[in-house]
Amino acid sequence: MQLGGPFRWNFRARLGYPPRVRLAYHVMSSPIGLLFIARSERGLKILSFMDRKSIRRVIASHQDTLPDATWQPSLLDLKPVVDQLESYFCGTLTEFELRLDPDGTPFQLSVWKALLKIPYAQTRTYGEIARALKQPRAARAVGLANNQNPIAIVVPCHRVIGADGKLTGYGGGMHRKRWLLQHEARFGRVGAASGDLLGAEVSRGGARRDLH
């Protein structure tokens, strides 16, 4: 997945929207539960796991950052996202081609941009991401930004692991992180023969690429 290729990212600090911005949303089913997806005119803004939350509750959770938004259900607006996610879950898509419009601080945006550079079926550590950002002591801050990623799966925060190769916390739940890594290992054929990404711990071997 290469930034600057199929992705077009709007790098904007969390400064708010003008009044009456329209956000289209849709709920889709997936092998790991219901997904809430929303986009602005600029691109995909939210992809989160609903768990047992209602649509109203999910929307309410974004009121602080999107106080003036008008939320409208629309499968038509989200169909390109739905189609690509379905292809991803089927194992036929390994790189998304979507416009992205996340809200975040400059540091958060830089971390999420770095996540987009982690290839399908590969992993990086928090420390590796921090070094790629030329902030080698910021591994903990990277972890916090990773946890606050508003666009799950597409911005692959699930591909970040601990320095010891173990799976670490994931906003969507560890069972989903493990499922996503297993899924990518299966279809990406990276380390699948040796069990890379298939257990509770992630092998540090196999195909890897330095982010520097």
Does one domain contain both 29 and 91?
yes
Does one domain contain both 95 and 113?
no
pLDDT on residue 7: 55
pLDDT on residue 9: 55
Q: Go through the chain and tell me how many residues it has.
A: 212
Separation between Cα atoms, residue 121 and residue 133, nearest integer Å: 22
What mean pLDDT, rounded, does the chain reach? 84
Where in the sequence is the domain holding 146, given as residue range(s)? 106-188
Last residue of a domain, one of 82, 100, 118: 100
In the numeric block, the tokens 């711990």 are attached to: 201
The answer for 83, left when phi > 0, alpha when psi is -120 to 50, beta otherwise, is alpha
Q: Answer yes or no: is 57 within a domain.
A: yes
Rg (CA), the chain: 17
Say whether pLDDT at 11 is over 60: no
**DSSP state string for the chain:** --TTTT-EE----S----TT-EEEEEEE--TTS-EEEEE-SSSEEEEEE-TT--HHHHHHTTTTT-TT-EEEE-HHHHHHHHHHHHHHHHTS-SS---EE-----HHHHHHHHHHTTSPTT--EEHHHHHHHTT-TT-HHHHHHHHHT-SBTTTS-GGGEE-TTSB----TT-HHHHHHHHHHHHHHH-SSTTTTTTSSSB--S-SS-----
Q: Answer yes or no: is 36 within a domain.
A: yes
Does one domain contain both 114 and 180?
yes
pLDDT on residue 36: 98
Task: Give 40-93 pLDDT, tens digit per residue.
Answer: 999 999 999 999 899 999 999 998 889 889 999 999 999 999 999 999 999 999
Percent of the chain with pLDDT over 70: 79
Q: Which of 157, 160, 180, 185 is catalytic?
A: 157
Does one domain contain both 13 and 92?
yes
Q: Answer yes or no: is 1 within a domain.
A: no
Number of domains in the chain: 2
Q: For this structure, is 90 an active site residue?
A: no
Say whether pLDDT at 207 is over 50: no
Last residue of a domain, one of 70, 85, 100: 100
Strand duo 22-28 + 70-73: pairing: parallel
Q: Taking residues 186-209, what's their average pLDDT?
A: 46
CATH code assigned at 62: 3.30.160.70
Separation between Cα atoms, residue 87 and residue 29, nearest integer Å: 13
Model confidence at 4, pLDDT cuts 50, 70, 90, reads very low
